[in-house]
């Protein structure tokens, strides 16, 4: 299973990235049964926009994941991030149970990171380097 398939299979919220790299025109196609009707796909793929599949993006356990089939410019990636943020807001508004689950996963991840940071900060700092530097600057009294 490649990365695109893995994200599509495991994401709670997922969208196909369609784009025309030459024109910088991109769109997200939600990967839900309702949106994948034949007329919709024909309108997207055979429109004057000439979009093709560029990758997939989704939320996996509350974390954004993206797999691209080709490299994109930084401004295109920023635009896709904005599109995906708007798409997630729409999905969460329509399905609040997803937003609650995503929030719980993010909170659990934040708690784990905070625990790791607390452990790192609680570890005593090794003073040996500072001691060696102070020793180096002492005057030499061997005359």
Q: What is the pLDDT of residues 73-108, one digit of tens each?
A: 888 988 898 888 888 888 888 888 877 777 777 677
The model's pTM is 0.62
**9 in any annotated domain:** yes
**77 in any annotated domain:** yes
Q: Is the distance from CB of 37 to CB of 45 less than 8 angstroms?
A: no
What pLDDT was estimated at residue 8? 82
How many domains, the chain? 1
For residue 137, count other CB atoms closer than 10 A to its CB: 6
**66 in any annotated domain:** yes
Q: Looking at 16-20, 30-34, 35-39, which range is the least confident one? A: 35-39
**114 in any annotated domain:** no
H or E stretch covering 7: helix 3-10
Does 12 score more than 70 pLDDT?
Answer: yes
**49 in any annotated domain:** yes
Does 124 score more than 60 pLDDT?
Answer: yes
**63 in any annotated domain:** yes
By residue range, what is the domain housing residue 30? 3-105
**134 in any annotated domain:** no
Give the mean model confidence (pLDDT) for residues 12-29: 88
**52 in any annotated domain:** yes
């Amino acid at each position: 299973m490649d990365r695109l398939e893995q994200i599509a299979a495991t994401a709670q919220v997922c969208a196909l990235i369609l784009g025309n790299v030459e024109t910088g025109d991109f769109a997200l196609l939600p990967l839900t049964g309702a949106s994948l009707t034949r007329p919709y796909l024909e309108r997207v793929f055979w429109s004057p926009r000439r979009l093709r599949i560029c990758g997939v993006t989704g939320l996996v356990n509350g974390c954004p994941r993206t797999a691209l089939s080709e490299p994109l410019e930084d401004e295109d990636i920023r635009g896709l991030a904005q599109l995906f943020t708007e798409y997630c807001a729409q999905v969460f508004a329509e399905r609040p149970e997803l937003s609650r689950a995503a929030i719980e996963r993010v909170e659990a991840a934040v708690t784990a990171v905070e625990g790791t940071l607390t452990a790192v900060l609680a570890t005593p700092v090794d003073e040996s380097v500072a001691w060696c530097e102070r020793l180096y600057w002492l005057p030499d009294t061997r005359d």
